[in-house]
Amino acid sequence: MRTGRAPCSPWLVALSPSALPIVDLSRFRTDRARFLGELRRAAHEVGFFYVLGHGVSPEVTGAIVETARRFFALPEAQRLEIENVHSPQFRGYTRTGTEVTAGSADWREQLDVGAELAALEPGPGAPAYLRLVGPNQWPSALPELRTAVLAWQAEALRVSREVLRALAAALGQQEDYFDRWFDEQAAIHLKVVHYPPRPRAEAGQGVGSHKDYGYLALLQQDEVGGLQVLTEGGDWIDATPVPGSFVVNIGEMLEIATDGYLKATRHRVLSPPAGVDRYSVPFFLAPRLDAVVEPLELPAELAAAARGVTQDEHNPLLAAYGENALLGWLRSHPRVARRWWPEFAAGSASPAAERAPGAAAGTRPAAPG
């Protein structure tokens, strides 16, 4: 693919060295009209932006990186104690080269963490995605990791919810428009990630090109860099680390809700060069698994600029979040799928076929018990 910068507006170029815009979230409550205009342009034109003014303390962001380094420095046997093949919920440690994106193995190791909930035991006829609800796995050799991760998760959730409320307002809705799907059953998820140096000069895939299928993703990255964003012109631009910021991007659920006015943007991560390690922590703001996206009634001027939902036969966008999430996990982690989800891993059934009654697009199915 081509590299380099895509043409973009002077407003975007002026805001960050990577041509990704910067928004100051603290202005949502103090300079509302101007802030909402800037946020709307960033989310519509690019789909990726830096967030400053988020109020997360350096102690919280520093602790997650420090404990991540210690976790990935543990002997392999202690990391494999919580390998994700032990979890039907895809939680725990993934060794390098066993997660798949765009059909190829990613060169990273990671810890997957979700909401701390007891496992559900869905009855007959219940949607298969309910089996994604369950506990996390934590390393016995580093108990402080749990404290650091959950503290960071709580702050990432707070910031992401504030960004989502601001986006609702920027789209002409009440701030709390999306709130009903983000209660204690919300399927939030984060990854603590280590990118080792690339094994060969030509082996550049840290994470392959993809989109995120929730509402929003929020990323804390270190100073190394490697995240790249695909422009509409087909060029990859660097999301150069900006100190003190998070990177936020639009997920596929918001693309569906806005008929493409907000578009989930394709992105990838390049492996660091020889002798360099990279650490990052992405957080995915996802709703309840039974959430079904309902189209927003956009103001006329925004609706006129909606681009429609992306049609991709290799990545169909489903309005039901639980189905989208399960398809993503099954594609990305084939070893876990074969062990815990053999009926889908073998191709004999589709998660979409397990949809709960009444869960057609545009409806709100009954919440699980």
Give 2's pLDDT tier (boundaries 50, 70, 90).
very low
Task: Pull the structure tokens for residue 231.
Answer: 């422009």
CA distance 314 to 301: 32
List the structure tokens of 150. Answer: 């959950």
Report helix, strand or coil for 179.
helix
What is the rounded CA–CA span in Å between residue 62 and residue 203? Answer: 30
Mean pLDDT (the chain) is: 85
Write out pLDDT tens, residues 253-306: 899 899 999 989 999 999 888 899 999 999 999 999 988 888 899 999 999 999
Angle at which helices 144-170 and 58-72 cross, to 10°: 130
User: What would the CATH number be for the domain defined by 10-354?
Assistant: 2.60.120.330
User: Domain ranges in the chain?
Assistant: 10-354
Q: Which of 104-108, 130-134, 283-287, 344-348 comes out lowest in average pLDDT?
A: 344-348
Query: What is the three-class DSSP state of 263?
Result: coil
> What are the C-alpha distances in Å from 13 to residues 16, 20, 245, 362?
6, 7, 17, 38
Across residues 13-32, what is the average pLDDT? Answer: 79
Do 73 and 155 form a contact (C-beta atoms < 8 A)? no
What is the reported pTM? 0.86
Judged against a pLDDT cut of 80, whether residue 351 lies above it is answered with no
Question: What's the alpha-carbon Rg for the chain, to the nearest Å?
Answer: 20
Q: Which token pair is 176?
A: 């709390």
What pLDDT, on a 0 to 100 scale, did the predictor assign at position 282? 97
Q: Which of 17-21, 81-85, 183-187, 301-305 has the lowest mean pLDDT?
A: 17-21
Smallest CA-to-CA distance from 360 within 318, 332, 317, 327 is with: 318
pLDDT at 329 over 60: yes
308: left (phi over 0), alpha (psi -120 to 50) or beta: left
pLDDT in tens, 49-77: 999 999 999 999 999 999 999 999 999 99
DSSP code at position 12:
H
Helix ranges, the chain (H): 10-15, 32-45, 58-72, 76-80, 144-170, 252-257, 300-303, 321-332, 334-340, 342-345
- Please give the residue that has the higher pLDDT: either 362 or 267: 267
pLDDT band at residue 109, thresholds of 50, 70 and 90? very high
| The predicted structure's pLDDT at residue 366 | 29
Across the range 129-154, mean pLDDT stands at 96
Residues forming a β-bridge with 237: 229
Instruction: Tell me what pLDDT residue 205 has.
Output: 77
CA distance 335 to 357: 30
